[in-house]
Chain A
Amino acid sequence: AQTVTQSQPEMSVQEAETVTLSCTYDTSESDYYLFWYKQPPSRQMILVIRQEAYKQQNATENRFSVNFQKAAKSFSLKISDSQLGDAAMYFCAYRRGTSGTYKYIFGTGTRLKVLA
């Protein structure tokens, strides 16, 4: 069974600095997709970025980028120029690419604090 591990329950970053959130996963599949979600205090789940396993190029969305290491099964999220609005819980998620697979596997989350 696939698992997703976020080993950092909490992280802090100074405003305008860079922080990296870790995510590792365990799978025997070669076709899969990875996602990072942000959950601010309002508790709405917001998609931050996604990565296709077959793509070697790391995904980037403005200040958010990933470091995808397929062989190491690692999918870390880098937030550059951190802003106060980045303070939230961040969840890493995995989904198999196999047709008929419906479930997303979530990590336990990392709480990010941004210090002014």
Chain B
Amino acid sequence: SQTIHQWPATLVQPVGSPLSLECTVEGTSNPNLYWYRQAAGRGLQLLFYSVGIGQISSEVPQNLSASRPQDRQFILSSKKLLLSDSGFYLCAWSRDRGSQPQHFGDGTRLSIL
């Protein structure tokens, strides 16, 4: 069966520090991968998605970047965090068929001080 791992679960970082959130998927190959951000009590904002190694599509101009160095690894990064980067970050994967749902990781709660 397929599993998705996302870490860390919680992160507290000072303004201006770098960021690296990692997401890995097991049990499937060539998944579509996604990063979302969710503000408290709000909906999901798609940040990035990737359909293959090295292929990144950005949805919202921002202080963040994403990379996919391996087939089942998706990394969300920032060189200098802003206060507005605080939020709940979710990684997800799906198969490349419309009928297939997304499967989500447990999320990372990021607080910027």
> Chain A residues in contact with chain B, CB under 8 A?
31-33, 35, 42-47, 50, 52, 89, 91, 93, 95-98, 101-104, 106-109, 111
Q: B51 — which chain A residues lie within 8 A by C-beta? A: 102
For B, the interface residue count at a CB cutoff of 8 angstroms equals 25
In the complex, A114→B42 CA distance in Å?
A: 19
Q: B90 — which chain A residues lie within 8 A by C-beta? A: 45
Assuming the A-B contacts A102-B49, A103-B49, A107-B43, are A47 and B99 also in contact, with contact meaning beta carbons closer than 8 angstroms in the complex?
Answer: no
**A80 to B: closest C-beta gap in Å:** 22
> Chain B residues in contact with chain A, CB under 8 A?
32, 34, 38, 41-44, 46, 49, 51, 57, 88, 90, 92, 94, 96, 98-99, 101-104, 106-107, 109
**B108 to A: closest C-beta gap in Å:** 10
Neighbour of B102 across the interface among A97, A98, A101, A104, CB < 8 A: A104
Q: B32 — which chain A residues lie within 8 A by C-beta? A: 102
Q: B99 — which chain A residues lie within 8 A by C-beta? A: 33, 50, 52, 97
**B36 to A: closest C-beta gap in Å:** 8
B107, A44: Cβ atoms closer than 8 Å? yes
**A31 to B: closest C-beta gap in Å:** 7
Assuming the A-B contacts A43-B88, A102-B32, are A91 and B43 also in contact, with contact meaning beta carbons closer than 8 angstroms in the complex?
Answer: yes
B92, A45: Cβ atoms closer than 8 Å? yes
> What residue in chain B is nearest A49 (Cβ atoms)?
B101
In the complex, A48→B9 CA distance in Å?
A: 23
In the complex, A32→B99 CA distance in Å?
A: 8
In the complex, A107→B38 CA distance in Å?
A: 12
Neighbour of B104 across the interface among A31, A32, A44, CB < 8 A: A44
